Each structure stands twice: as structure tokens, then as C-alpha cells.
Amino acid sequence: MRNYSTTKRVLVTGGAGFLGSHLCGRLLEKGYDVLCLDNMYTGTKENIAHMLGETRFEFMRHDVTFPLYVEVDEIFNLACPASPIHYQFDPVQTTKTSVHGAINMLGLAKRVKARILQASTSEVYGDPEVHPQEESYWGRVNPIGERACYDEGKRCAETLFFDYHRQHGLEIKVARIFNTYGPRMHPNDGRVVSNFIVQALKNEPITLYGDGMQTRSFCYVDDLVDGLIRLMASPADVIGPINLGNPVEYTVKQLAEKIIELTGSSSTMAFRPLPSDDPRQRQPNIGRAKELLDWEPTTELEEGLKKTIDYFENAFSA
């Protein structure tokens, strides 16, 4: 199906979410025609409001669990709630989004011969015994736990991507994204960086789950989006999975201390029960991304946190 433009047409599912909206912005900067699709489950109109006036930007409200017939050249499949609070609110829908959503987007990619990238996750490693996590590790996931709707949904989506590649010759890319933070996280998102910043700015207690000694490695959103774009543009034989994340590891307690320091907050720390199956440790081995994509994060935690704190101060100061 032709139109008069030769501009590359890119579909971003979950485009009104935190990562998706940054990705849409970067793709517009690169001169592409962007179709942003979202069912607004955790996404917001505010995230994409600044792009709505652009001729090359189009928003479509749609749920990826239903078939979609559009004509595009590339697909970034990001649709899926990412915060434990939100993906556990309606776990059946979370699995449907990952699995039926992947089938529909792969079916679409097959029909229009589009290259397709899956936003997978470090959660496919579960509560890992191998540390740092490298792509060859198969993971340790509880298949019947409260996180399984997300973890197993994402694992099944990876299976579908590789089977469409092997069975139908689709050009696929699978990114395993580690904890990413930055402006446009929703204040009620529930993930650790936004929770701590919102609490610190209000001088309310910082809620540490468990003893706060579990670790995560935090990647700033601009670095992550750069990695996704490099992966999509990589040679056809680079299919992944590829870890994308910042390899510098912190305990959750260290993160709380850093945020209290940067905000000058008088917040104290309040310890709360550890959610079930909460991984004890997480750190990406990014050797593959360095070698194949010439990619590594450049934003240090303090710098990224300052930008994120500025965002929360300005966006919600009223």
C-alpha cells in the first residue's frame, strides 16, 4: 500500500508510556513517521501532548491483544505495564498483553514484512543465581507466583519472537531491559525511583521494602532509548537477546540515601514487607551490547537522578 512519502514508518506500541514516549520523540528527531499506539492503561496523554502537533506523529488508541491492520516498516513492541503494582492489578490482562500482543504484532510484522523489536526484561532471569546476569543464563522464575504474569508473559513473548524468526524468517530484535528511570515516570507508577523521589520531595517516609539490601542497577532513559534505536538499526543477524541497562549496581537503601541527599529532604526511612519473589540482586552484563551495538550508558546515577528530580519538582509543583 503506497502513499506519497518515502519516510520510514515506525509503529511504537505502548508509545504513551514512560519509555515509549521518549522513544517516539527520538524517532521523530530522526525524521521518521511515528505511529504511537496505546490503550492508556498506564500511559498518559500528557506524555505525548508535545508531539501531537507534529505532522509525522499520529496517536492511535488500541489494545494490542486485538488484531491491528496498519502499514509500517518497523515495530517497537513496548506495550505492557512495567511496574509490579500495575502488572499485578490485572494479571490475566498482563499475560494477554504480552502473549496475545506479541502474536498480533508478529502477525502484523509478517504480513507487512516489517522488522520488529521486543521490549523484554531482566525479569526473565527471575531471582537469579548467576550474577551479573548474562544473556546465556536461562533464569530462575517462579511460574505460579505473583510476578509470573509479567515474567512468564515476557518469556513466552521471547519464545514467540524466536519461533516467528525460525519458522517464518521474520527480522526480530529482542532487548532485555534492566531497571530504567527518568522524567515522565508517573508519580503513582510504584517503581522505586519515582516512589522515592515523590516521597522525598514531600518529606514523607521513604518506603524501603525488606531490609533495603536487595540490589538493582539503574539506567537513565536517554541511554536506554539510544540502545533500543541502535539495536533496531543493527545488521539482520543481530537478533539478541541483548541486555540493555546500566551495570553500576546499588542497594535500594543506597538509592534512598542518594535521593534524600540530592533533594535535601528531611524524610526518614520506613521499612515495609518485601513483596513476594522480589529478586535479591540484579546487574546486567552488557558485553554483548558493547560488542555488537557499540553501546554503553553514559549517564551516571547522580546526573540522571538530578534530571528526574527536576522533572518531578516542575511537573507536579502546583
Per-residue interface string for the shown chain with ligand NAD, residues 96-135, x marking contact by CB under 6 A: -x---x-----------------x-x--------------
Order the strands of the 115-121 sheet from edge to edge.
57-61, 33-38, 9-13, 74-77, 115-121, 172-177, 242-244
40 binds ligand NAD (CB under 6 A): yes
Q: Which of 125, 150, 181, 220 is catalytic?
A: 150
Q: Give which of ligand NAD, ligand UDP, none residue 177 binds (C-beta under 5 to 8 Å, depending on kind).
A: ligand NAD
Per-residue interface string for the shown chain with ligand UDP, residues 261-280, x marking contact by CB under 6 A: --------------x--x--
- Taking the least distance from each CB to ligand UDP, the nearer of 55 and 167 is 167
Active site residue 150: yes
Q: Which of 18, 59, 125, 164 binds ligand NAD (CB under 6 A)?
A: 18
- Taking the least distance from each CB to ligand UDP, the nearer of 96 and 110 is 110
d(CA 17, CA 225) in angstroms, rounded, equals 13
- Taking the least distance from each CB to ligand UDP, the nearer of 207 and 254 is 207
Q: Give which of ligand UDP, ligand NAD, none residue 187 binds (C-beta under 5 to 8 Å, depending on kind).
A: none
Q: How far is the CB of 54 from ligand UDP (least distance, A)?
A: 25
Per-residue interface string for the shown chain with ligand NAD, residues 60-89, x marking contact by CB under 6 A: ---xxx------------xxxxx-------
Whether the Cβ atoms of residue 165 and residue 239 lie closer than 8 Å to each other: yes
- Taking the least distance from each CB to ligand NAD, the nearer of 83 and 265 is 83
Give the helix/strand (H/E) hosting 287: helix 287-293
d(CA 318, CA 138) in angstroms, rounded, equals 47
**C-alpha dist (Å) from residue 140 to 125, 251, 278:** 6, 21, 12
d(CA 148, CA 130) in angstroms, rounded, equals 19
Q: How far is the CB of 169 from ligand UDP (least distance, A)?
A: 12
297 binds ligand NAD (CB under 6 A): no
Local structure of residue 124 (DSSP, 8 states): G
Phi, psi at 77, each rounded to 5°: -95, 95
Cell of 18: 514512560
- Taking the least distance from each CB to ligand UDP, the nearer of 72 and 242 is 72
- Taking the least distance from each CB to ligand UDP, the nearer of 60 and 103 is 103
Q: Which of 65, 207, 251, 254 binds ligand UDP (CB under 6 A)?
A: 207
DSSP assignment of 45-108, as one string? HHHHGGGTT-TTEEEEE--TTS------SEEEE--S--SHHHHTTSHHHHHHHHHHHHHHHHHH
- For 34, the 3-state DSSP assignment is strand
Interface of this chain with ligand NAD, residues 152 to 191, rule: CB under 6 A? 177, 179-180
Interface of this chain with ligand UDP, residues 161 to 200, rule: CB under 6 A? 179, 191-192, 195
260 binds ligand UDP (CB under 6 A): no
d(CA 5, CA 8) in angstroms, rounded, equals 8
Q: At what angle do helices 301-315 and 192-201 cross, to 10 degrees?
A: 60
CA dihedral over 85, 219, 181, 253, signed as positive or negative: positive
Per-residue interface string for the shown chain with ligand UDP, residues 7-46, x marking contact by CB under 6 A: ----------------------------------------
- For 274, the 3-state DSSP assignment is coil
Binding site for ligand NAD (CB under 6 A): 13-14, 16-20, 38-43, 63-65, 78-82, 97, 101, 119, 121, 177, 179-180
Q: Which residues are catalytic?
A: 150
